[in-house]
A and B are shown apart, each in its own frame.
Chain A
Amino acid sequence: MDRRQIAAVLALERLSIPLRLDTFEYRLLAQKVLYLAQAGGLGIGYPYSWYLRGPYSSALTRDLFASQADPASMEDVTQNWKLDDNAGERLDRIRKLLQPPKGIRLWDWSELLASVHFLIDRKQAAQDTEEIERRLRAFGKNFSRREVEDAFECLKEYSLLR
């Protein structure tokens, strides 16, 4: 495993997100939480682009499957590597950010947080929840205005957006 793969595996472990690739929901979750971790200042190093369900990194998908197909290296990483304290603290903050409001599932919440951040950070939408909601609806998302506002406020509270 290269340094980027090691970082991804350790970050997921610190966030208590299981590396389960057998369901779409967990794959989506891994994509979005690592996006948010990078947005929160961690130099994991995956390039993200926009796809139908928000920020997506095909390099990350490839690496996660490769990691899972290499159990000996996975064992080496989880047993013999650790993140520096600063990275650990940043990830602990991301873990708090990931607590979904009542009524939203974890993967939907992570998708919403990541999508709102991407839209604003990459200047695909203004800091305007109505516009963001409209953009997401174009991709078949039915997040309510309230949910978009919650995500926006959370991202600001945790300093992922200014």
Chain B
Amino acid sequence: MHLSASRNIASSDNPESNRGVVDPIHGTIKPHADEWRVIDTASFQRLRQLKQLGLGYLVYPNATHTRFAHSLGVFAVMCRILDIAKNKLPLKEQQVKDLRLAALLHDIGHYPYSHLMELVDAVRLPEEYLAANPRTLRLEATEQYPDHEELGKIIVTEQADIRDAIGGIDRAERIAALFRRDRVADPQLSKLLHSSLDIDRLDYLPRDARAAGVPYGRIDINYILQNVKANPQGVIGIDPKARLAAEHFLLARYFMQRTVYYHKTTFGFEEAFRHLIRRCRDIDAEKYGLPANGAAVRQIAKNRAGLYEFTDSFLDSVAQRALAADDQIIRSLAHAIVYRHPPSLLREAVAIFERTNRDAQKHNACEAFLAAIRARLPALSSTFNLPTGQFLIAEPKSLTFEKRGSTIRPQDSDKQPTAEWDELIRLIPDDGSEPIILVDDPGSLLHGIAGKTCRIVRLYVVDTDEDRVRRLKEEVKSWG
């Protein structure tokens, strides 16, 4: 990775402020004076209390970096891309300013421990996997926690400090519309926001890799950014000479997911915490200090004191309270988290197959393992005298190498565009010919693997009895 601590970002047209911040990934970042006013608000400073990698620090002790640092990093990437794009795209000065601020504020609405709490409604508890059929799914809109971008909009439009620093409600709504990708007025802006260069990923991969101390996410970010190009039609891509850096960028995400984001212990802790939150909330939200539903979360985002307390320590205190719960499952989950007793991985099934292969979809190691879990877990739970709630059936999102792999088929290329289509990485040739989609190029490694998907299914148990865990592992291994 080419790092240059002396580089100044976004400072060339910045007569109003000499104030800068040193960043290990991007060098010195120098926001404008009006951007500093936003950064200095209490609502923005809250991001210092949210760890970027959630519970990742329980495995990688140095991974304590925050959403605050990441937000500044994404801002820096956006500034560099805008420097290149503004000469090629008909962007007005105000639009450039708005895009910079939208990048800075794109994560302002994050929950404590980031995605951990946000995704609590997606969790399926073991009893839901194993319940007698038919199982009923309740879908009341008010029950679910909203996504972090909706919370972000509430914060920038309703928290007075940040709304005023942005310049009032009209601009605050405009900025929120940009980071939520609601902005309808200008298709060109929409395209830029959906461009093939995922500015979020360009920051979090190297930042997370550096903090965790693993090499996999150390993409050549400077070389990629130095080679960003826009063709006369406003398509954003990269110069073909940076193609290997771009391939590495795509592969890096896969390796970071397998090693860091889906690390068996981190994922086990996070899954246990999600189960804990769901159980506490559903039994007695008030007792554990949790918002009972989406409306209560929105209320926190609107309330000044409530928002400032809505940090990682908010969830830490929920886990502390849960230690004294009457419910054995809740107590066990809380104990695992507070005293760092990782859920034990009993077994993991991994299947990598061609997404369109119907036979492989139906007959693979993950499907076989899930079928065995459904058939045998109740008896296992009974034999070993452990409630089923102390088992965690985890299905991390399937992995792909490029969006084409999961969502876009090659024959769709001449059809109507989708956001994913625009987000594919493109090479912009010097001779003015049409941009080439990287995964379409037979000379690219990605061409051969972009259609594949990687599925993972895991079974954990939350139990401190080491001998029982050992016997459980042997038993689950014998399922075949």
Contact = CB atoms under 8 A, between A and B. Distances in A.
- A and B interact: yes
B361 interface: yes
A49 B140 contact: no
Which 7 A-B pairs rank lowest in CB-CB distance, beginning with the nearest? Answer: A49-B181, A80-B133, A43-B141, A87-B139, A2-B122, A124-B184, A47-B147
Interface string B273-317: 000000000000000000000100000000000000000000000
B358 A124 contact: no
Given A3-B124, A84-B139, A24 B412 contact: yes
A52 B417 CA distance: 8
Contact of A83 (B124, B136, B173, B185): B136
Contacts of B92: none
Given A2-B123, A61-B418, A138-B187, A42 B141 contact: yes
19 contacts: A28-B416, A47-B149, A50-B182, A51-B190, A52-B190, A52-B417, A56-B418, A56-B419, A62-B406, A65-B407, A69-B355, A69-B453, A81-B135, A81-B136, A82-B135, A84-B139, A87-B138, A123-B177, A124-B184
A50 B190 contact: yes
Nearest to A66: B398
Interface in B207-221: none
Given A3-B137, A83-B139, A138-B187, A124 B177 contact: yes
B416 A82 contact: no
Interface of B: 121-124, 128, 133-144, 147, 149-150, 173, 177, 180-187, 190, 194, 294, 355, 358, 361-362, 367, 370-371, 395, 397-398, 406-407, 409, 412, 415-420, 453, 455
A122 interface: yes
Contact of B355 (A47, A56, A65): A65
Nearest to B411: A22
A69 B184 contact: no
B141 A38 contact: yes
A90 B9 CA distance: 51
Contact of A61 (B123, B416, B420): B420
Contacts of B367: 70, 72
B361 A69 contact: yes
A158 interface: no
Contact of B134 (A49, A52, A80): A80
B412 A72 contact: no
Q: Interface SS of chain B: helix, strand, loop or mixed?
A: mixed
Interface of A: 1-4, 6-7, 10-11, 22, 24, 27-28, 38, 41-45, 47, 49-53, 56, 58, 61-62, 65-66, 69-73, 79-84, 86-87, 118-119, 122-125, 135, 138-139
Nearest to A57: B419
A24 B355 contact: no
Contacts of A58: 407, 419-420
A51 B193 CA distance: 10
Given A43-B294, A84-B137, 6 more contacts: A2-B395, A50-B181, A56-B418, A56-B419, A81-B136, A123-B173
A103 B379 CA distance: 58
Given A43-B142, A124-B177, A135-B185, A66 B397 contact: yes
B412 A41 contact: no
Contacts of B294: 43
A87 B367 CA distance: 29
B134 A43 contact: no
Nearest to A82: B134
A11 B139 CA distance: 10
Contacts of A49: 180-182, 419
Nearest to A123: B173
A124 B367 CA distance: 44
Contact of B182 (A45, A73, A122): A122
B419 to A, nearest CB: 5
Nearest to B143: A43
A71 B358 contact: yes
